[in-house]
Amino acid sequence: MRIVWHGHACFEVNDGITVVTDPHDGKSIGIARPSLEADMVLVSHDHFDHNCTKAVEGNPLIVESTVNETIMGVRTRALQTYHDTVDGRKRGNNRIYRFEMDGVSFCHLGDLGHTLSDRMLEALGSIDVLFIPVGSVFTIDGETAWRLVTEIDPRIAVPMHYRVGGLSLSIRPLGDFLDLVDSPVTRVGNEIIFEKEDLPEDTEVWVFSL
């Protein structure tokens, strides 16, 4: 199992099948354009920094709706949420994707803008790897993100959608989130290869770099 971060909310997860989340074109947000090829692309919402599917090569299947099915052997479910705290009236809808590959469950929260109800948490179920926005302004902030991590209780929490060098979006830096973390933090570089049995029992935070 391999995970690569391409900046912002764009990750590549590969285990024979390659799933890409929320691709961007790089130029529009001030960071490098990702080099991507995928079998399936999951799009959380239709904003320019998350929906650049044309940047992904390989003629992938584009998923941009609330699905609940097995696609290419990947059990995939989308839950409808919002990009803000007012039921989408300010920034629209957002989809959370839960997908499973080779027995590992992933959850990508997209541009989630609010906390999750008990019903939503129950619907997510057990999560091994959680991709969570932490940059505030357009999404939940670091404090809300850490509270959600403790509620979801994944084995791995991966912060995303925060300020990095060159980014043209005015969002908060990673430090706002890490200052609140009381679990082990591991800086894994740009990518990591692992097996399910390697994952810790208690939550650990993996910080990727570009």
Residue 157 confidence (pLDDT): 98
Count how many domains the chain has: 1
Which residue ranges in the chain fall short of pLDDT 50?
Answer: none
Give the CATH number for residue 153.
3.60.15.10
Q: Give the three-class secondary structure for 56.
A: strand
User: Would you state the pLDDT for residue 164?
Assistant: 95
pLDDT digits (tens, 9 = 90+) for 11-63: 999 999 999 999 999 999 999 999 999 999 999 999 999 999 999 999 999 99
Question: Exposure pattern of 103-112 as b/e (b: 16+ CB <10 Å)?
Answer: ebbbbbbbbb
pLDDT of residue 180: 97
**Structural domain range at position 92:** 2-208
Q: What is the pLDDT of residue 179?
A: 98
The position carrying tokens 């591991």 is: 186
